[in-house]
Structure 1
Amino acid sequence: MKRRILYIGHAFHLRTRSNRFMLDILEKAFDVTLVYVDPDKLHETNFDVSAADYDIAVVYQLDFLAPIFLAKGLPTVVIPMFDGSEHMPEGHWQMANQARFVAFSRHLHVKIQRAGGTSLLVKYFPKVSPNPVRRMNSLNGFFWERRPDSPINTQMVARVIGNQLDKLHIHQAPDIPWTTETALPPQFGNTEISTSQWFENASELDDIMSQSNVYFAPRLSEGIGMGFLEAMASGMMVIAHDASTHNEYIANWQSGILYTLGIDGPPHVNWELAYELGMNGRQSVADGRNAWLAQIPEMIDWIETTPAPDIAEVNASMLANEIPKAYLAGFGSYLQFLRRSTPLIHKMSPALDEKRSLAQRPATFPDDDEAGLVPRLSTTVMGFGTSETRPFLVSGWSHDEAGFVWMDGTVGVIRFANSAELSTSTCMTVTCHAPQSIVGQKLAVVLNGSLCGSIDVGDATQSTTFPLPEEGLRKFNEIRLFAGQALTGGADPRALSVAITSIIFE
Structure 2
Amino acid sequence: MMEKLLFVGLPEHKRTASFEFFTQLLENTYQIEYTKITIDKNWTNTTYAYNRIIFWQRLPPPEHLRAVSPTSVVYVPMYDEARNYNRQVIRTWAPFKIISFCRSIHEDLTAWGFNSKYVQYFPKPMVEAPLPLAVHKAFFWKREGSYINEAIPDAMIPLLLHDSGMKLHYHSETKPVCEKEFEDMVASRSSWLRSKEEMISLLRECSLYIAPRESEGIGMSFLDAMANGLAVAGADNPTMNEYISDGQNGYLFDLMKPLPINLENLQQVREKSLESCQAGYEKWEKEKWSLIDFIEEPHPSSLLVQVPRGFEYRSLKQKSMSFRAKRLVKRLAGK
Into which bin does the TM-score normalised by the smaller protein fall? 0.7 to 0.9
Question: What is the distance in 2 between the residues matched to 1:88 and 1:230?
Answer: 28
- Aligned pair partner of 1:212 in 189, 206, 217: 206
1:69 and 2:65 are equivalent in the alignment: yes
Alpha-carbon deviation of 1:77? 0.4
After TM superposition, the structure 1 stretch with the greater mean CA deviation from structure 2, 243-252 or 44-53, is: 44-53
| CA distance in structure 2 between the partners assigned to 1:145 and 1:37 by the alignment | 26
1:129 corresponds in structure 2 to 126
Q: Distance in 2 between matches of 1:282 and 1:208?
A: 17
Equivalent position of 1:111 in the other structure: 108
- The structure whose RCO (Cα within 8 Å, separation 6+) is larger is 2
Q: Is 2:185 the partner of 1:168?
A: no
Q: Secondary structure at the match of 1:48?
A: helix
Contact 1:220 1:243 (8 Å CA) reproduced: yes
Find the residue that maps to 2:89 and give its secondary structure: helix
Distance 1:185 1:28, change over 3 A: same
- Deviation digits for residues 288-334 of structure 1, max 9, x if unmatched? 11111111221101112244x86xxxxxxxxxxxxxxxxxxxxxxxx
Q: Give the Cα–Cα distance (whole angstroms) in 1 for the partners of residues 257 and 96 of structure 2.
A: 40
- Tell me the equivalent position of 2:30: 30
Query: Structure 2 regions of 5+ residues with no counterpart?
Result: 315-335
Equivalence for 2:328 = none
Q: 1:453-468 maps to which residues of 2 (within 5 A)?
A: none
The C-alpha deviation readout for 1:86-109, integer Å capped at 9, x for no partner, is 232333232121210000111111
CA-CA distance at 1:182 after TM superposition: 5.3
Cα distance in 1 for partners of 2:227, 2:198 equals: 18
From the superposition, tell whether residues 184 and 114 of structure 1 become closer, same or farther in structure 2 (CA, over 3 Å). Answer: same
1:54 aligns with 2:46: no
By how many angstroms is 1:193 displaced? 2.9
Q: For residues 138 and 263 of structure 1, do their structure 2 counterparts lie closer, same or farther at Cα, with a shift above 3 Å needed?
A: farther
**Cα drift, residue 183 of structure 1:** 2.9
Cα 1:264/1:28, change in 2 over 3 Å: closer
Q: Secondary structure, in 3 states, of the residue corresponding to 1:157?
A: helix
Per-residue Cα deviation, 1:97-132 (whole angstroms, up to 9, x for no partner): 121000011111122223321000110000011354
The 2-side partners of 1:290 and 1:70 are apart by 40
Give the match for residue 325 of structure 2: none
2:142 maps to: 145
Q: Are the equivalent residues in 2 in contact too, given 1:6–1:33 (CA < 8 A)?
A: yes
Whether 2:270 is the aligned partner of 1:274: answer no
The count of corresponding residues between Structure 1 and Structure 2 is: 307
Residue type at the aligned position of 2:37: V
- What is the TM-score of this pair, normalised by structure 2? 0.82
What secondary structure does 1:154 align onto?
coil
User: Which of 217, 220, 228 is matched with 1:223 structurally?
Assistant: 217
**Aligned residues of 2:114 and 2:303 also touching (Cα < 8 A):** no
Q: How does 1:330-341 map to 2 (within 5 A)?
A: none
Any stretches of 5+ residues in structure 1 without a counterpart?
A: 311-349, 361-397, 399-506
CA distance in 2, matches of 1:264, 1:294: 38
- Which digits, 9 at most, give the CA deviation of each residue in 1:182-209, with x for residues without a partner? 53224x6x53432111122332322221
- 1:236 matched to which residue of 2? 230
Distance 1:194 1:154 in 2: 16
CA distance in 2 between counterparts of 1:275 and 1:194 reads: 21
* Alpha-carbon distance in 2 for matches of 1:67, 1:23: 27
AA paired with 1:54?
Y
Q: 1:8 maps to what in 2?
A: 8
Question: Normalization by structure 1: what TM-score?
Answer: 0.56
Residue type at the aligned position of 1:203: E
Structure 1 or 2: larger strand share? 1
AA at the equivalent of 1:130: V
Equivalent residue in structure 1 for 2:283, among 291, 299, 306:
291
State the secondary structure of the residue aligned to 1:222.
Answer: coil
Q: In the aligned structure 2, how far is the partner of 1:217 from the partner of 1:233?
A: 14
Task: Give the letter aligned to residue 214 of structure 2.
Answer: L
Conserved 8 A contact 1:133-1:211: no
* Between 61-70 and 227-236, the greater mean CA deviation after superposition: 61-70
What do you get for the CA RMSD once the two structures are aligned?
Answer: 2.7
Shift of 1:46: 4.2
The verdict on how the C-alpha distance between 1:18 and 1:165 changes in structure 2, with shifts beyond 3 A counting, is farther
Look up the match of 1:198: 192
What's 1:250 paired with? 244
